[in-house]
Each structure stands twice: as structure tokens, then as C-alpha cells.
Chains A and B, each alone.
Chain A
């Protein structure tokens, strides 16, 4: 099976490619990149990529596949279909499953199910602590050898600073990324949205930005003292961006991610008790959105991750206080990035792609995220100019919980190629 991608705008930030080129795939690997490549014969599928961008397959380092345990929200099959549709070829799923990913058996289950039913590459992220309880470290070494690409307690912050310190030191031995969901639960105080004008206006309990920033500061300081690596998940406030910026200047080994909703939406989305605008950390204010964009521009923020968090409609169609936190993200992430970052002149396409390919790959230690000759062909082809209206009912994900329903976005994925196999063709899942 050979594939020739003709005439596309090839953007590979890692190899500084940003021009019209052809890409030739043979036996699942990229065999040639160049101008006007010749057809390889009858068994070569030719993709006309004129007017489209050909990029390394997108990598999402933060998603929830809900499998095992919550298959009514999403499973590995539906989640990877959704990822493929959104242009992702590799995703790393968080451990808050049931049972959680705190042991080898669950890691193996995920790999085996992804192999059978998955549409993209799936790598689990292990739990920092047993049962995500924040009490004892999980068997981190065993998890690493089973194949996890990072550890995190995700939604359950590691509240004990001492335990976090040990997790950083221990994981560092295995060169494993520690991904921290930064939230001081006491400060968050059971809030359900950002503490600001909108929480006052709606009579909802607010979460102070300090709840996030105190924990970002704590983790940075611990990482600095231990000379260990730390990755801060879903940065949402101006203060957090500044903390990471200063830490990077001091040489702390800190990296961080944000999500599309934190640079495109504000707390105003919650008006009308919109539970599809409820997530943790919550949507913030205009000054935060601007600071996130600034952080993306100056490199303080390394990665754009989706925090894809599907929920069943019955978990969202309830009182705001009771509604589950989180939104789906695979099928809108790229378009939100193009519309709100590239379209508004904040980032070039190449800079955006870098934060969705090679940067997350480096943090997770994956040899992916570029179009190197000889590399497995993980490729995304999209039209950066095509506008469309988001319709959640068209999502491949079981979760329809997106605040972008009916939004007009720019940037449509046409092909997703995973390990040399076309899984999305002409925007249709194969």
C-alpha cells in the first residue's frame, strides 16, 4: 500500500519544513518528501492536497477515554474515532478510569483494546498514587515498564506536598513526565465556576484563581528544589502563566499546557446556567484569555491539549451545581486553534502545529510528531480556510457536551493517516 500526498502545504515544525511539497508513504512509513514526486503505480492512492495543510499527526497529551469503567460516557473505540475525526493520531489518556490506571493490568487492557478497536495510537498515563487517592505512590516503575508515558492524578490534585515531592523524585528516575492538575481543594472550596462577576450574577459558588496558582507555585518550587521535571496541566489563569514564565527564566524544568477553551472562551459562557461551559479549571475572564494567548506566543505555554472529557447527557442536563465538569474536545481543538490563534494573528500555523505535535511528543518521550523520513506515517491533512458550523450531533464521540455547538469555526480535517493507514478520508471515518 502506497500513498502519495500531492501538492499540499507541508508544515513540519520540528524539521522546519513550511512549503508546498509531496509526501510519499510506503509500507506505513514516510519514504520521501520532495517536489513533484512521481506516481508509484496503480496501487498508489493519490491524495490531492492542493490548498490543504499536511502536518504531522496531531498529538493530544491530555484526554479521558472513560474506558474501563465509564463506557456509557465514552470507550476506546468511540474516543479514538472522535480523535481521528479531529485530526489526532496519538492520544494519551488520563488514569481516572474505574479501576484507575494504577497497575499493569489496566495498562495492558488499554493497549490491547486500543489495538483491537482503536483508530489512533493510544498511550495511557498512569496514576501518581494508588487509586488516585493521594495517599501512597503507585508502582510507578512497573507502570513505566508496562508502557505509560506519564503519571498524573489528574482531576484529583496531589494535595500532600511531601508526596508530590517524592513523586517528582521517583518518576524522574524513570524519566517519566509528572503531569499536575493544580488545584488547592481548600481554596476551591466546592466552587462550580470562576469567582468573578458572573458567579456573583448567577449566584453560583466561585473558585478563586488563587486555588490554581497556589498549586502551580508549589509544584514549581518543589520541582526547582529537586531539579526534577514537572508538567502543569490545563493552565487557565494569568497568574499561572506568569508563574511558569518566571520559572522557565530561572531554568526550572517546567512545561505546561492549556486547552482551546481557555484561549477562546470566558466565564460569560456560563450565563443561563450552561453546564456545557462547566469544567475544571473553570472558564476565566478576558484578562486571563489574553494572558494565555500571550503565553502561547512567547513559548511559556508549550502545548495545546484538549482535556477531552465526555459525559452522558443525563450528567449535564441537571442543576448546574450537580453537573459533571468537562467538555469534549477532539473534534473542535484544531479548528478552535486555527480560528482563535492563527485567524487572529497570534500564532502562525507552524507555531500552532508545534504545540499540538512535537512539543507534547517531547514531554511524553514519544518519538513522534514530525514527518521524518523512515518514521511511521502519522499525518493530518486539513483545510485551514474552510469554515463550518459546529454540530455536536455529528460528533463521533459519545459525548455531546461541547460549548462550541453552533459556533462558526475555521479549519476542517480531511485526512487522518495513522501508521500509514487512512482512517479518515474526505472527512469521513473509514
Chain B
């Protein structure tokens, strides 16, 4: 008997996914990581499928990782970056999405600065919509690769204590990780400046700490978040210097976590601001390996959602 993966058309967020669906992707990513380790990285999984990346924000790792994941599996890929698209001529999001959809696209991978943009287009297109980051809402594929890395290194997720530290308010990575980790049974602590802590975040099932030391106590995993310079201009933090002094992850603060705590960061890293170069390079840090895992996880996602059909076949 086939195992039903999902009957959802789109991957919009971990918010609305079940633990079973998440685990299914993580397991499938393991096979993909094996493929990535081969000399010839080419499989026929997505042969004949078309994938379009539609990015309304700059991105290096996410976009390239989706593109390579598609190519490794023999898909046809096209990349739309807004700077050189009809968006500059005033085309609205729905019309752009429909245009791409009508070209025979199987998956649209979208990144957008506004929360809910993938949800909006998903109602208008036949293609599967994969959210590659929407505003402050979610970045589900990043959280899935974080979960994959944690599981790979720690052997499990349930029962682990995970500290997410930094700018929680503006972080879609934090939100997706909170949903994913709590669904898989981890205990999540969040820490950061009060001005960057969203209201009622505790109601999402996490513990909130005003200092990162407290959030770090006995952590098995640390997810360090990027702080953006714009936050200072908006009056949310006094300066990057002060941020680094009170909220940066350095060797002294690392002591509060477990000695073998895993250090993750979604990138890009501001060295010397939210994390010191020393901590970034230390042997507990898997920040670079996260990037590799990102390709494996995205291969799994593209495969599972184009199969899409897993659910339909199962009905027979």
C-alpha cells in the first residue's frame, strides 16, 4: 500500500501541515541527500516537469538551491526575477502568476516581500505553489531544512530544546520553525530584544525570554537569526554595536547551551553582529551544511509535490 503524502496542492507553510506530512518530506530528503553525494548528480525524477521560480526579493541560496534541485532531477527550469519582468510594467501579482501558470508550469516557487502572497496566487493557478518566503509569515522550506539538519545531527527532534534567538518579529524563518518544531515535539524557547518580539508569540506554544542567555540555557539546538540594518533606522534597536553586545551569539553566551549544542543560521550571516566569526566557524556550527541540506530538502519537496498525485493514486 502506498502511503498518502498529502492531498494539498500547495506548500504554503508549516502552519497548516501535519507532523506526518513534515516527517514524510524529511525522510524523502534523506534519499535525495544520498543522490547529492554521488559523482553524477542527475536523476530522472522530474523529467518532463516544469518549474518556475518567481522571486520578488533578492535571494542567493534559496533561489539557486531550488534551481539546482530542479536541474539535478531533470526538470525544465525558468527563473523570473522581478527586476527584469513585466512587474516593472505594472502587472499585478495575480496576472503574472496566471501567465506563468498557462505556460504549462507544474510548480511555481515564489518569494515575495508581502505575507500571504503565495496564498493569494495559489487560488488562481493550477500549478503547485511552493512558498520560498513570504514577508514575515513563513519560509517553510528553510524550516524543513533546519528540521532535517537537526534530525540528521541529533537523531531526533522530539524532546529537544531549541532556542531561536534574534529578531523574531520580522522572521519568517522563526515562525516556520516554531510551527515545525512544536509539531514534531520539540520544546522551543525564543529570545531577543522586546522590540523585536511579536505580540502573543507565547500563544504559539513557545517560551519567551527577554535575554538570550536565558533562552539558551540547556539548549540542544540554537537557531540564530539575521538582524537587518533597517531595524535600527526604524528605531527598534539602538545600534548594531549594542545589539551585538546584548543579543549577539558569542563564545561567552554559548556556554549557557549544552556543550554539544547545534548552531544553525538561515543566512546570510552578518559576522560580528548576531554571531561572532568564531562561533560561526566552530565545530558545533552546521551553518554551511544547512545549505547542502537545503538542496536535498527542496529536491524532496519538488518531487513529492509534482508526484502530487501520490494522494490521488492512493484512492484507487
Contacts and interface: CB of A to CB of B under 8 A. Distances in A.
B201 interface: yes
Contacts of B204: 200-201
B201 A204 contact: no
B304 interface: no
A316 to B, nearest CB: 11
Interface size, B (range): 20 to 34
A105 to B, nearest CB: 33
Given A202-B137, A203-B172, A203-B175, A320 B198 contact: no
A38 interface: no
B155 to A, nearest CB: 31
A273 B122 CA distance: 12
B221 interface: no
Contacts of A150: none
A213 B199 CA distance: 18
Interface in B99-124: 112, 114-117, 119-120
A13 interface: no
A319 interface: yes
A199 interface: yes
Interface string A262-290: 00000000001100000000000000000
Q: Give the most central of A197, A203, A205, A273: most B CB within 10 Å.
A: A203
B187 interface: no
A319 B136 contact: no
Contact of A202 (B92, B116, B117): B116
A99 interface: no
Contacts of A201: 15, 204
Given A203-B135, A204-B115, A314 B199 contact: no
A45 B204 CA distance: 62
B252 interface: no
B89 interface: no
A219 interface: no
A195 B197 CA distance: 12
Given A203-B136, A273-B120, A320 B115 contact: yes
B138 A195 contact: no
B199 A322 contact: no
Interface string B194-215: 0000111101100000000000
Interface string A183-209: 000000000000111011111111000
Given A314-B92, A319-B93, A197 B203 contact: yes
A253 to B, nearest CB: 35
Interface of B is mostly: mixed
Contacts of A318: 92-94, 120
Given A200-B199, A200-B201, A321 B92 contact: no
A202 B119 CA distance: 11
Contacts of A273: 115-116, 119-120
A319 B200 contact: no
A34 to B, nearest CB: 57
Given A273-B119, A320-B116, A200 B200 contact: yes
Nearest to A190: B234
A152 B136 CA distance: 35
A425 B117 CA distance: 44
A319 B201 CA distance: 24
A202 B94 contact: no
A246 interface: no
B135 A204 contact: yes
Contact of A203 (B92, B120, B137, B203): B137
Nearest to B119: A273
Contacts of B135: 203-204, 321
B134 interface: yes
Given A318-B120, A319-B120, A203 B115 contact: yes
Contacts of B137: 202-204
A197 B200 contact: yes
B263 to A, nearest CB: 25
B199 A319 contact: no
A196 B134 contact: no
A205 to B, nearest CB: 7
A272 B115 CA distance: 10
Contacts of A197: 199-200, 203
B115 A202 contact: yes
Contacts of B92: 314, 318
Contacts of B112: 319
B20 to A, nearest CB: 22
A205 B114 CA distance: 10
Contacts of A227: none
A200 B172 CA distance: 10
Contact of A199 (B120, B138, B199): B199
17 contacts: A195-B199, A197-B203, A200-B199, A201-B15, A202-B137, A203-B136, A203-B137, A204-B115, A204-B135, A204-B136, A206-B198, A273-B119, A317-B94, A318-B92, A318-B94, A319-B117, A321-B114
List of 4 A-B pairs having minimum Cβ-Cβ separation, nearest first: A203-B137, A273-B116, A203-B136, A200-B198
Given A199-B199, A200-B198, A273-B115, 7 more contacts: A197-B199, A201-B15, A272-B119, A314-B92, A320-B115, A320-B116, A320-B120
Interface of A: 195-197, 199-206, 272-273, 314, 317-322
